[in-house]
Chain A
Amino acid sequence: DAKTTQPPSMDCAEGRAANLPCNHSTISGNEYVYWYRQIHSQGPQYIIHGLKNNETNEMASLIITEDRKSSTLILPHATLRDTAVYYCIVRGYNYGQNFVFGPGTRLSVLP
């Protein structure tokens, strides 16, 4: 699985958009980009995933660059409850490929 690089921490003002970047320059053609988050010590929570098109759901938007070497997770109106560690993961669909969680980005939403 391709390796991802994320900033260790970010701050965001409550009510503003939070833009979390992720670099995955070695991503291959059949690998998807996934985002999960972990609030405090709770179990991680799925947010969104995509292959090459931008994706949006009720939680967030995922913007993947045309060359697929980086992506950005956007939380449109961050709230205090969005304070968490956000993990960007790249995974393919071949047998044996599972989620590999890196250190992630610790997002602090400030009042």
Chain B
Amino acid sequence: DSGVTQTPKHLITATGQRVTLRCSPRSGDLSVYWYQQSLDQGLQFLIQYYNGEERAKGNILERFSAQQFPDLHSELNLSSLELGDSALYFCASSVRARSDEQYFGPGTRLTVT
């Protein structure tokens, strides 16, 4: 158990819909990262927040957005969902903005039908 929690574990929704994935980092961690893992693209970095501020952006689509709240939990919002958005979404956390060790949560499996 990494100490990072993600909800929900599974999510099934239809194309065109919008969903929100939630992540609670380990106690004391200020940085939160979001990753997407699909069968054809592998594990891809989406975005990072550090202490409430966006820190780095990766291959995140414009239909996706994220934020980190004052209590440091983070949400990833996915809108206008397409079949290709079906994937495992992982959240990770670390103490600093540039930590060597990121602690990954168990992931949310999103299925878009």
Residues of A within 8 A of B (CB): 32, 34, 38, 41-46, 49, 87, 93, 95-96, 98-103
Residue pairs across A and B with Cβ atoms less than 8 A apart, 5 shown, are A32-B100, A44-B90, A98-B58, A99-B102, A101-B43
Tell me the minimal C-beta distance from B74 to chain A in angstroms: 15
- Residue of A38, A42, A87 ringed by the most chain B CB atoms within 10 A: A42
Tell me the minimal C-beta distance from B70 to chain A in angstroms: 24
The reply on B20 being an interface residue by CB < 8 A is no
Tell me the minimal C-beta distance from B51 to chain A in angstroms: 16
Q: Number of B residues contacting the other chain (C-beta, 8 Å)?
A: 24
**A34–B88 Cα gap in the complex (Å)?**
22
* A103–B42 touching, CB < 8 Å: yes
Tell me the minimal C-beta distance from A87 to chain B in angstroms: 8
Residues of B within 8 A of A (CB): 2, 4, 33, 35, 42-45, 48, 56, 58, 88, 90, 92, 98, 100-107, 109
**A44–B104 Cα gap in the complex (Å)?**
6
Determine the chain A residues whose CB is within 8 A of the CB of B43 once the complex forms: 38, 44, 87, 101
**A32–B92 Cα gap in the complex (Å)?**
20
> How would you classify the secondary structure of chain A's contact residues: helix, strand, loop or mixed?
loop
Determine the chain A residues whose CB is within 8 A of the CB of B33 once the complex forms: 98
* B42–A43 touching, CB < 8 Å: no
* B107–A43 touching, CB < 8 Å: yes
* B4–A43 touching, CB < 8 Å: yes
* B56–A43 touching, CB < 8 Å: no
**A102–B44 Cα gap in the complex (Å)?**
9
Q: Which residue of A lies closest to B105 (CB)?
A: A43
**A101–B43 Cα gap in the complex (Å)?**
6
Q: Which residue of A lies closest to B6 (CB)?
A: A43
**A98–B34 Cα gap in the complex (Å)?**
11
New A-B contacts (18) at CB < 8 Å, excluding given A46-B102, A87-B43, A99-B45: A34-B100, A43-B107, A44-B43, A44-B90, A44-B102, A44-B104, A45-B104, A46-B100, A46-B101, A46-B103, A93-B98, A98-B45, A98-B56, A99-B102, A100-B45, A101-B43, A101-B45, A103-B42
